[in-house]
Amino acid sequence: MGRAAVFIDGANLFFTQRHLGWQIDFSRLMAFFMSGYAPVQANYYVPASEPVSEENAAFTRVLTAHGYRITSKPVKKIVNKETGVIVMKGNLDVELVVDALSGADQYDTFILFSGDSDFLPLLRALKEQGKEVQVYSTQGLSARELLAEPGIAYHDLALLKERIEQVRPGESMRVYGLGAGNDQEFSLPLPDIGETFSGTVLKVQPYGIFLSNPFHVKCLLPLSFLGISKYIGDLTAIVRMTDVFEVVVFHVNSTRDIAEITVKLADKKMVEELISRIEG
């Protein structure tokens, strides 16, 4: 397996996903590339707006948890003095290009997520250095120059939906290889009892909290496993969508179509924080 570096133009990918009509599961995307390369560097470039919404904060945690390095900079508001029109600017193309060139000795395959022809000089420079160059975008949003450029392997994301689409609740999760004889389906391993991990909040119910997890299974942190002796009348009132819970696996149920795990809260600071919210 060769070394790969994935560079994602976040702004471009946002419009690509909207054009496709489905969302990418970035943990599945990482597993997709890890099945064909070792190691895999993943870099995500995105403009940052203020204030940061809970949704964006949660998305950042998900990316970081699955090994993506995030590069961002504040969005600038530029006012046209003649018309008074405000233009929002948050392009990170330069940062992406600089990182790709300065770190070129760390990878053999360069993988770009963007259909922007502005990256052609970078792709050509990397080819001259002997790098394998791949581009992931979709028809209709990919510049003709990219499609016509010799020596670039182009991949249409529309054809990868089954492999990298964000799994809806209640659906089983499978991870696929990269094709060319490597398309065997396999499942991610289940955790061991006693294994610890951090999860973000997906949904809060009166009886517990459903958490994201690296195993792509249903994960419940029950109310009784929060380690709080005080009475909790409304769990939704003290748990925030931005919370991150460090938990330990208590039980694994693999008999169902979709495996389920039960976890216990292992973070004393979070216990104290929840108690303070109850008392406050």
Task: Give a yes or no: residue 243 inside a domain.
Answer: yes
By C-alpha distance, which of 153, 71, 45, 148 is closest to 109? 153
- C-alpha atoms less than 13 angstroms from C-alpha of 246 in its C-beta half-sphere: 6
Please answer whether residues 223 and 206 qualify as being in contact, where contact means their C-beta atoms are separated by less than 8 angstroms: yes
The reported pLDDT for the residue numbered 196 is: 92
- 209 with 135, same domain: the answer is no
Domain span at residue 209?
196-279
- 77 with 208, same domain: the answer is no
- What CATH number does the domain containing 252 carry? 2.40.50.140
Task: Give a yes or no: residue 182 inside a domain.
Answer: no
- 156 with 215, same domain: the answer is no
The reported pLDDT for the residue numbered 241 is: 80
- What CATH number does the domain containing 59 carry? 3.40.50.1010
Tens-digit pLDDT profile for residues 152-177: 999 999 999 988 998 654 444 443 33
Given 107, 142, 164, the domain boundary residue is 164
Residue 47 and residue 37: Cα distance in Å, rounded?
Answer: 28
- 16 with 144, same domain: the answer is yes
- 207 with 124, same domain: the answer is no
The reported pLDDT for the residue numbered 3 is: 93
- 69 with 154, same domain: the answer is yes
- 65 with 125, same domain: the answer is yes
The reported pLDDT for the residue numbered 182 is: 38
Domain count for the chain: 2
Query: In one letter, which amino acid is 273?
Result: E
- 128 with 75, same domain: the answer is yes
What stretches in the chain show pLDDT beneath 70? Answer: 50-52, 65, 76-81, 83-90, 167-188, 216, 256-258
The reported pLDDT for the residue numbered 57 is: 78
